[in-house]
Amino acid sequence: MADRAYNFNAGPAALPLEVLRQAQEQFVDFGGTGMSLMEMSHRGKVYESVHYETEKLLRELAGIPDHYKVLFLQGGASTQFAMVPMNLGAPGKVAAYVHTGAWAAKAIKEAKLFGETAIAASTEADAFMRIPSSGELNIPDNAAYLHVTSNETIGGVQWKEYPDTGSVPLVADMSSDILCRPLNVAQFGLIYAGAQKNLGPSGVTIVIIREDLIGQPAGTVPTMLQYATHAKSGSLYNTPPTFGIYMINLVLKWLQGQGGAAAMERINREKADILYREIDESGGFYRGCAEPGSRSLMNVTFRMADEELEKRFVKESEEAGFVGLKGHRDVGGLRASIYNAVPLESVQALASFMREFKRRNG
């Protein structure tokens, strides 16, 4: 750890040190080719083997069935907010959404550009501090799909169990929690995630889509924004983000070395428990934002008595080597993002800092 910061950034976020070192080692000369991977044709054998190996690793780690396609796209998860309704919407159907906070709101706003939408449930009345129960969902009969945000990165709430939507395809934005725990892909019609939190650097967005949903879109959709274009070409229709995909490859191998998604979940629970315990046992000095049953394993959000104290916490934490603890500008407060690659030692160091800060200011 020596000169590494305690990195709690929300995304782009901490990457495994091992991965950074490997990338550094291979940066100038990839596997004796005399070139960086970044300097190679995406149609060449060397890059292609990295590309398809990355897909294979993701299939293994996420348990992706054969009748799903894996796509590596650009434009961030924000472009998926539009691609989902453009491709999955149909005349006479409504796009249904669960409104759980800031990221769900952005997805809904975009879907409204393309047709009728319905809010199947909203937790706005509870300031988005919880995930609705299945019983609260009201899915229209003519829903084209139901969209959920599996982890609200800003609010710090996370789905524990996904709803059974019957024949309505379930679509999930897993940008901030993909592979933080085992996943049953068969429950979903489509999953998407920007890579920059749990999978690698920014610039790549992963889409996992059930083959029967990759039809010809109903409206006029630009070629680059059709899932079919990328599914048919193995995400090589145009130049893919080669370096980002290579970094995902290294992160997935690291994840495999950790024991896969099940082992990752155990470690993530241990990390999250340390911080939530620190909050809960602080006698009200720290106050967790999310309702306990909806607490995120990835983004621990909390507040203190007043903003002055929160400012002091941020300032002093920065002086002590902690990065990224200030809450999102829209909601304030504090947030520790503890994605897969954030080491247990960083979390332990933060818990000690929190205790010490409370002792001095409580």
Point out the residues that are catalytic: 103, 173, 197
Sheet with 170-173: strands ordered across: 68-73, 205-210, 190-194, 170-173, 143-149, 94-99, 117-122
Q: Which residue is nearest to ligand PMP (CB)?
A: 76
Query: Of the candidates 5, 12, 40, 76, which one interacts with ligand PMP according to CB under 6 A?
Result: 76
Single-letter amino acid, residue 301 = T
Query: Of the candidates 11, 16, 189, 200, which one interacts with ligand PMP according to CB under 6 A?
Result: 11
CA distances 231 to 30, 46, 214, 248, 339, Å, are 28, 21, 8, 19, 29
Q: How far is CA 88 from the centre of its chain?
A: 21
Indicate whether 198 belongs to the interface with ligand PMP (CB under 6 A).
no
Query: Of the candidates 123, 149, 337, 346, which one interacts with ligand PMP according to CB under 6 A?
Result: 149
Q: Number of C-alpha atoms within 13 angstroms, CB side, residue 175?
A: 28
214: CB partners within 8 A, 6+ apart? 69, 87, 227, 228, 231
CB of 149 or CB of 346, closer to ligand PMP: 149
Indicate whether 244 belongs to the interface with ligand PMP (CB under 6 A).
no
- The token pair at 267 is 């470690």
63 in Cβ contact with 183 (< 8 Å): yes
Cα angle: 318, vertex 324, 12; to 5 degrees: 140
Binding span for ligand PMP by CB under 6 A among 172-180, 238-246, 290-298, 338-346 = 172-180
Enumerate residues 79-118 that contact ligand PMP by CB under 6 A. Answer: 103
40 in Cβ contact with 30 (< 8 Å): yes
Query: Of the candidates 13, 61, 70, 77, which one interacts with ligand PMP according to CB under 6 A?
Result: 77
CB of 61 or CB of 193, closer to ligand PMP: 193
Q: How many residues bind ligand PMP (CB under 6 A)?
A: 11
69: nearest Cα among 201, 229, 194, 247: 229
Indicate whether 12 belongs to the interface with ligand PMP (CB under 6 A).
no
- Give the whole-angstrom CA distance, residue 136 versus residue 162: 13
CB of 7 or CB of 176, closer to ligand PMP: 176
Closest distance to ligand PMP from the beta carbon of 114 (Å): 18
Cis peptide bond upstream of 241, omega within 30: no
Closest distance to ligand PMP from the beta carbon of 84 (Å): 12
Indicate whether 155 belongs to the interface with ligand PMP (CB under 6 A).
no
Closest distance to ligand PMP from the beta carbon of 255 (Å): 19
Give helix then strand counts, H and E, for the chain.
9, 14
CB of 80 or CB of 317, closer to ligand PMP: 80
Closest distance to ligand PMP from the beta carbon of 173 (Å): 5
Query: Of the candidates 7, 54, 100, 175, which one interacts with ligand PMP according to CB under 6 A?
Result: 175
Closest distance to ligand PMP from the beta carbon of 153 (Å): 3
CB of 78 or CB of 258, closer to ligand PMP: 78
- DSSP-assigned states of every residue in 66-96: TTEEEEEESSHHHHHHHHHHHHH--TT-EEE
Binding span for ligand PMP by CB under 6 A among 73-81, 117-125, 289-297, 335-343 = 73-81
Indicate whether 241 belongs to the interface with ligand PMP (CB under 6 A).
no
3-state secondary structure of 336: strand
3-state secondary structure of 274: helix
Indicate whether 156 belongs to the interface with ligand PMP (CB under 6 A).
no
- Residues in contact with ligand PMP by CB under 6 A are 11, 76-78, 103, 149, 153, 173, 175-176, 194
